[in-house]
């Protein structure tokens, strides 16, 4: 169990002490270094975090595929890391990236291509910035 001294050190210190969750993962938010838009939210394990820092290219850990993954390794749509920030309790990182092409596997620049609208009968979605930059059927073809 963490003590309040541990917490203070993790929040105020300059030591790199990533706090991985029970599955060994951090949350990572990638934003477009140019526009500031959020491109995607994904996860990094210790190895993905280490490789990202060492290479300056984004690596993630895919929970669905249970595998380390260099962003763009299938699609060519890589992410060059311009800056990495750590949050207060060191369980989330923010990377500002230069995105080649599209971040989303659906072909959109960002994964966040739908806005949530309130309304009678419950919330709904509407497309925003939803133009496809590539056709997933072409890019991920086996």
Helix (H) or strand (E) holding 28: strand 26-32
**At its nearest, how many Å lie between a second copy and the CB of residue 42?**
9
Contact 112, 127 (CB under 8 A): no
Q: Which residues contact 24 (CB under 8 A, 6 or more apart)?
A: 45, 46
Q: Is 115 helix (H, G, I), strand (E, B) or coil?
A: strand
Residues lying near a second copy in the complex (CB under 8 A) are found at 11-16, 27, 29, 31, 35-38, 40-41, 53-54, 83-89, 92-94, 104-106, 108, 111-116, 118, 122-128
- Between residues 73 and 115, which has the closer beta carbon with respect to a second copy? 115
**At its nearest, how many Å lie between a second copy and the CB of residue 52?**
9
**At its nearest, how many Å lie between a second copy and the CB of residue 25?**
11
């Amino acid at each position: 169990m963490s003590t309040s001294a541990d917490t203070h050190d993790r929040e105020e210190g300059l030591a790199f002490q990533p706090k991985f969750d029970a599955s060994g993962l951090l949350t990572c938010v990638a934003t477009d270094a140019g526009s500031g838009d959020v491109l995607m939210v994904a996860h990094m394990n210790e190895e993905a975090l280490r490789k990202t820092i060492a290479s300056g290219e984004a690596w993630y850990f895919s929970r669905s595929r249970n595998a380390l993954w260099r962003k763009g390794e299938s699609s060519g749509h890589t992410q060059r890391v311009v800056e990495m920030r750590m949050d207060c309790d060191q369980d989330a990182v923010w990377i500002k990236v230069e995105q080649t092409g599209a971040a989303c596997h659906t072909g959109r620049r960002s994964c966040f291509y739908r806005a949530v609208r309130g309304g009678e009968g419950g919330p709904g979605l509407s497309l925003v910035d939803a133009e496809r930059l590539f056709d997933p059927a072409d890019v991920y073809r086996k």
